[in-house]
Structures are given as structure tokens and as C-alpha cells.
């Protein structure tokens, strides 16, 4: 039996991770292969502006800021930031991947940079997935108009079924929880 492919889009938040447990409720490890996708911001690097003469009479190099001096001496190229960002995000995805693999799922992780909605749709097509699962922040009104909605854009452009989960806020700890933790008390509930 061929396993279906499910793309789970995560943004690094605990809210986005809630969709993983929902996917596990619907599909067992013998039914699906999971691809975890994380889309980050495009990496630009940092290089300083070149020096300019202080004046026509004084050819002493002058910089706009101390930061420009630092970046001219030690530039950080976009490729360095890109490699660093991939490593950081892969490390963050590793815990999610290991938890799924421990439960028998076949998992791979992908890191991309750019517009999240476009990257999710493109990755779904490239990977030949049968289903996309992701959370939505559930914004409405002006905040959605101003910031847009990744989930809405994916929904409009995707060609496969999609599971959208509105994550819930975890319950707040009891009032005395912080004091108990600080005092080293152990809370046991039966």
C-alpha cells in the first residue's frame, strides 16, 4: 500500500505545532509520510556602505555610522545568513521530527525562505502531497486586511485538500503554580 503524503506547515510557534497532534488523530504512521515545512524570512546579509572623503581638501575616509565601519571590516553575506538560518530552523524542526519518528511516522523536513503562502503552495506541488495541514491565527477585520492571511492565500491557491486548525490558547497554570515551582514543591494530581 502506498502511503499518502501530508505537508505540515509550521511557523516555529507552539500554536502551529497543535496541528501535528490533529494530523496524528486522523492518520496512523502506516498511512502517511509527513513533510514538515518551515518558511523563514529572506536573508539579506549586512555589508557597510563604502567610505567617502571627509571633504575635498581632506581625503580622510569617513563612514556614515560605526556599524558601517564594522560591516566593511567584517561583512556578513546573505549566503552566510542563509546557511546559518537553515541550520537554526532545521535544529528547531528536529524535536518535532524526532517525536513523530518515535511514533513510527516517516518524516522529512524542508526549510525555505520567502513568502510563506507561495512557498507552501509551491512545496505542496513539488512534493506531490495529498493533503496540507496548517494552523490559522484566526484574525478578522482590520488586522487581517492589514497583515493578510497566509492560510487564506494558501486556501485560494492550493489544489489539494487542506486542514486548517484554529489553535487554542493553552490553559493558564493555577494561581499558586509559580510559587510552588519557585519553592520546589511538587504538584501531583490523581
- 54-94 pLDDT, tens digit each: 566 766 665 556 665 555 554 555 566 767 777 888 888 89
The reported pLDDT for the residue numbered 166 is 84
Q: Are residues 139 and 169 located together in one domain of the fold? A: yes
Dihedral sign for Cα atoms in the order 78, 84, 86, 92: negative
The reported pLDDT for the residue numbered 186 is 41
What grid cell was written down for 127? Answer: 512534493
Per-residue pLDDT at 185 exceeds 50: no
Left if phi > 0, otherwise alpha if psi is -120 to 50, otherwise beta: which for 55? beta
Tens of pLDDT, residues 114-169: 899 999 999 999 999 999 999 987 555 444 444 458 888 998 999 999 999 887 77
Q: What CA–CA distance (Å, rounded) separates 105 from 84?
A: 28
Helix spans in the chain (H): 14-26, 66-73, 78-102, 116-127, 141-147, 150-157, 177-183
The reported pLDDT for the residue numbered 187 is 41
Per-residue pLDDT at 34 exceeds 70: yes
For 31, the domain range is: 4-41+78-183
Q: pLDDT confidence of 13, banded at 50, 70, 90?
A: confident
Asked if the structure places residue 172 within a domain, the reply is yes
H or E segment and range at residue 113: strand 106-113
Asked if the structure places residue 189 within a domain, the reply is no
What grid cell was written down for 12? Answer: 516555529
Q: pLDDT confidence of 188, banded at 50, 70, 90?
A: very low
16 touches 135 (CB < 8 A): yes
Strand-by-strand arrangement of the 162-165 sheet? 106-113, 32-40, 4-10, 131-135, 162-165
4 touches 130 (CB < 8 A): yes
The reported pLDDT for the residue numbered 168 is 76
Q: Which of 52, 76, 100 is the last residue of a domain?
A: 76
Which of 22-31, 60-69, 105-114 shows the lowest mean pLDDT across its residues? 60-69
Read off the pLDDT of each residue in 2-15 and give the average, rounded to a whole number.
92
The reported pLDDT for the residue numbered 101 is 96
Q: Are residues 69 and 146 located together in one domain of the fold? A: no
Q: Are residues 120 and 29 located together in one domain of the fold? A: yes
Q: Are residues 13 and 64 located together in one domain of the fold? A: no
Amino acid at each position: 500500500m502506498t502511503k499518502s503524503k501530508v505537508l505540515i506547515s509550521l511557523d516555529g510557534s507552539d500554536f502551529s505545532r497543535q496541528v501535528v497532534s490533529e494530523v496524528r488523530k486522523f492518520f496512523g504512521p502506516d498511512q502517511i509520510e509527513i513533510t514538515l515545512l518551515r518558511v523563514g524570512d529572506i536573508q539579506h546579509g549586512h555589508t557597510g556602505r563604502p567610505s567617502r572623503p571627509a571633504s575635498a581638501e581632506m581625503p580622510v575616509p569617513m563612514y556614515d555610522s560605526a556599524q558601517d565601519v564594522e560591516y566593511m571590516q567584517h561583512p556578513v553575506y546573505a549566503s552566510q545568513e542563509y546557511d546559518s538560518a537553515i541550520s537554526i530552523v532545521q535544529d528547531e524542526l528536529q524535536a518535532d521530527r524526532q517525536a513523530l519518528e518515535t511514533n513510527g511516522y516517516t518524516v522529512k523536513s524542508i526549510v525555505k525562505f520567502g513568502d510563506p503562502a507561495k512557498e507552501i503552495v509551491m512545496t505542496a506541488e513539488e512534493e506531490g502531497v495529498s493533503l496540507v495541514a496548517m494552523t490559522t491565527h484566526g484574525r478578522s477585520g482590520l488586522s487581517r486586511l492589514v497583515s493578510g492571511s497566509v492560510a487564506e492565500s494558501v486556501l485560494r491557491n492550493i489544489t489539494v485538500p487542506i486542514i486548517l486548525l484554529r489553535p487554542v490558547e493553552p490553559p493558564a497554570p493555577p494561581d499558586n503554580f509559580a510559587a510552588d515551582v519557585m519553592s520546589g514543591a511538587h504538584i501531583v494530581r490523581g
